Structure 1
């Protein structure tokens, strides 16, 4: 019996840098995303099956699964771009004008299936695309098929993992300034609000709840900030004022 051969696949922002048109499509997609509070709970059967797919293709150190959601409305021709924080372990993802971006210096971070069944990035991180030469194209085909078959297209997406994934990351929304994802070890006492990211932790079976919205002292995951913030120091001041970091 002949073995089916999967067609090669090239995903913009993952295998190759995005084009300006790719970035504009990301902007449009982001503005249509639901808030996480409007998403249904992810059934354990799906996290187990998706973990099995990641492990079968040996990509659990490269990819995780993410709850599809957005937090704000982007201005025209802007995308959500994440940059590493320097004062604590974490990432600040904020609206950034496409005109200020070198597409060759960024990569897709979270991907959602389009109506055409193609993976499209809707959040990005600084840094070039990773080397995926050793990743079987069948992984992407199988993942896409699973999401489509199980009606998960608008619920779950693919997430590119950082080189070192902490056991738990806490996400806070800083209003019009985007979101901040912090290593839970750098956050003062916190309570999970909603699981948003899942990855395969070493030595564990299935997907671990690796990213979560965390409540502030105001019993919400939103940090109240007055106006636009452009630099990290004022951002950290706002987080300290909310009693989030030390």
Structure 2
């Protein structure tokens, strides 16, 4: 199979049926707490593979996982915000998505090749510097080591920094850790690679799932949840929970 040929949301235009497949993939993924650890040896081997194929400036890896069931005719779509710097991904109706202005954000390897299960609102990334054989070589590695349900391929955020992933009702938010109070990391979920002194290198912890220090996610299970229909709603709710630092307050 030509694993790099025609990946929806990466080097192939998206169709609505691709979104439906993404929803189905996401809803079959386990929670991150149910996933085994990714071996350090595999992470370092992947760093070598990414650097060798000049893919490290565009892609990283992600622990494939889900947090809730995405409703019918919706898919997770992320949007970046600057104040505070973050990425809010929420279940978004198919009809509200401009398929010409989104790309796949996290992909898993299926029987039919790589397919996204989460999206990002911006044009497809520039893949011109990535070796043409990268996806095929990555697919071979994931298959050989039984990692297809554990390791996802992620289009990385160009910004440096350590990010905390917090779970919201029907969504997640990735916040710069320096903007967050009262939360503790629970598990690393994202890895970036780079070249250091001419050698492949695994960057320090890039993305980490975090919870409130009381052991819960942002909102306690069973408690009433605020409506989070817009980013300002999310921002206000996190400030009310004293998780997000108020703008200008250190």
In the superposition, the TM-score normalised over structure 1's length comes to 0.90
Counterpart for residue 3 of structure 1: none
1:175 aligned onto 2:174: no
State the 1:8 CA deviation.
6.3
**Structure 1 CA distance, aligned partners of 2:3 and 2:176?**
38
**Structure 2 CA distance, aligned partners of 1:65 and 1:223?**
28
State the 1:221 CA deviation.
3.6
State the 1:30 CA deviation.
1.0
The 8 Å contact of residues 17 and 128 in structure 1, kept in 2 or not, is answered as no
5 Å matches for 1:23-62?
A: 23-62=19-58
**Structure 2 CA distance, aligned partners of 1:184 and 1:202?**
24
Counterpart for residue 152 of structure 1: 147
5 Å matches for 1:33-182?
A: 33-116=29-112, 118-164=113-159, 166-176=160-170, 178-182=171-175
**Structure 2 CA distance, aligned partners of 1:91 and 1:202?**
26
Counterpart for residue 187 of structure 1: 180
Change (3 A) 1:222 1:189: closer
Change (3 A) 1:201 1:238: farther
In the superposition, the TM-score normalised over structure 2's length comes to 0.89
State the 1:52 CA deviation.
0.6
State the 1:175 CA deviation.
2.0
Over the aligned positions, Cα root-mean-square deviation in angstroms equals 1.9
Q: Mean alpha-carbon deviation: is it higher for 207-216 or for 40-49?
A: 207-216
Change (3 A) 1:36 1:18: same
SS at match of 1:147: helix
The 8 Å contact of residues 164 and 176 in structure 2, kept in 1 or not, is answered as yes
Counterpart for residue 236 of structure 2: 237
**Structure 2 CA distance, aligned partners of 1:31 and 1:227?**
23
Change (3 A) 1:205 1:133: closer
Structure 2: stretches of 5+ with no match in the other structure: 246-250
Q: What CA deviation, in whole Å up to 9, does each residue of 1:195-244 have, x standing for no partner?
A: 11011156472353210011213223443461431112221121122221
* Greater per-residue strand proportion: 2
Change (3 A) 1:194 1:215: same
Q: What CA deviation, in whole Å up to 9, does each residue of 1:124-168 have, x standing for no partner?
A: 00011112123222111110000011000100010001222x231
Counterpart for residue 248 of structure 2: none
State the 1:9 CA deviation.
2.2
Counterpart for residue 216 of structure 1: 212
Change (3 A) 1:71 1:182: same
Would you say how many aligned residue pairs link Structure 1 and Structure 2? 238
